[in-house]
Amino acid sequence: MPSYRQSIGYRLFTIGNMVFLTLLAFTCLFPIIHVLSISLSSAQAVSAGAVKLWPVDFTLVSYESVFRKQAFLLAFWVSLKRVVLGTSISMLLMILLAYPLSKDNKQFPFRTVYVWIFVFTIIFGGGLIPTYMVIKSMGMIDTIWALVIPSAVSVFNAVLLLNFFRNLPKELEESAKLDGANHWTILWRIYVPVSLPALATVFLFTIIGHWNSWFDGLIYMNQSDNYPLQTYLQTTIVSKDLSQMSAQEAEKYFRMNDRTGRAAQIFVAALPILLAYPFLQRFFMKGIVLGSVKE
């Protein structure tokens, strides 16, 4: 009888949990679905407030206009270059940083001191103006490197990675050393292959960080042609100047008001991350949990 009551309670909890998570998921998805519906609806339907979760007067004119904008495509290309370069450099540097810092003090003297030096940079930054002066003095203004180099090493991600490395069995490294492997071989032939969950987590964090960043593009880029996508969206959507509309844009304005065009650009900008996340999701939670067991 007690086991029967326990099974009933467990089932009720499971059902309630599923209902709650379903409502929570819908709450998270509702803004995305709403933006997509607006981008696929006519200007009249959007202005009348008739669009909720389904397009009204379906049309692709907003997306046609977006993909014909040279400035939008150029900003999209800048963001792609930034993500590829930034993620590659960041992953390489963070792996090379996390590996030695994951050793104990016997293998790496003053290891704790170095860790705290890096942690100090999380609490205290150099400031916006000194950082800008350094970037300018290095000749990186209006270059892709101004978007990549300053954020190349995320200390938070590096700490997450080194914690995962510290949890790996010591026997793996010891057996490799008995076979004559050096640290370089141990890192790339043993540590990296068995650390895919943590690497996937850090990889996802790095991609999202580069793709969503907009402020550095605003302060480091003097030419609008060098804006990454999020900076371009901030300058055109948040502070749009209607006087800059071309003749063709003005002609289409009756069919595509400002809300439909903005929604189309926002959805296109969010689409790459939405497509990439499912491929990394199975590593994500495992990497978070295992990488945070101990310092």
Look at residue 249 in the predicted model and tell me its pLDDT: 53
Assess whether pLDDT exceeds 80 at residue 253: no
Look at residue 235 in the predicted model and tell me its pLDDT: 84
Assess whether pLDDT exceeds 70 at residue 110: yes
Distance from C-alpha of 266 to C-alpha of 236, rounded to nearest angstrom: 11
3-state SS, the chain, equals CHHHHHHHHHHHHHHHHHHHHHHHHHHHHHHHHHHHHHHCCCHHHHHCCCCCCCCCCCCCHHHHHHHCCHHHHHHHHHHHHHHHHHHHHHHHHHHHHHHHHCCCCCCCCCHHHHHHHHHHHHHCCCCHHHHHHHHHHCCCCCCCHHHHCCCCCCHHHHHHHHHHHHHCCHHHHHHHHHCCCCHHHHHHHHHHHHCHHHHHHHHHHHHHHHHHCCHHHHHHCCCHHHCCHHHHHHHHHHCCCHHHCCHHHHHHCCCCCHHHHHHHHHHHHHHHHHHHHHHHHHHHHHHHHHCCCCC
Would you place residue 142 in the very low, low, confident or very high pLDDT band (cuts 50, 70, 90)? Answer: very high
- The top-scoring range by mean pLDDT among 69-73, 86-90, 246-250 is 86-90
What value does the mean pLDDT take over residues 8-19?
A: 86
Residue with the bigger pLDDT between 72 and 4: it is 72
Assess whether pLDDT exceeds 80 at residue 56: yes
In the chain the domains, ranked by start, together with CATH numbers, are 62-295 (1.10.3720.10)
What is the number of alpha carbons within 13 Å of residue 174 lying toward its C-beta?
Answer: 4
161-174 pLDDT per residue, tens: 888 888 888 888 88
Look at residue 295 in the predicted model and tell me its pLDDT: 43
Look at residue 97 in the predicted model and tell me its pLDDT: 93
Look at residue 257 in the predicted model and tell me its pLDDT: 55
- Is residue 101 a contact partner of residue 162, using CB atoms and an 8 Å limit? yes
Look at residue 133 in the predicted model and tell me its pLDDT: 93
Would you place residue 136 in the very low, low, confident or very high pLDDT band (cuts 50, 70, 90)? Answer: very high
Mean pLDDT (the chain, rounded) = 83
Look at residue 14 in the predicted model and tell me its pLDDT: 86
- The top-scoring range by mean pLDDT among 66-70, 138-142, 281-285 is 138-142
Distance from C-alpha of 118 to C-alpha of 110, rounded to nearest angstrom: 13
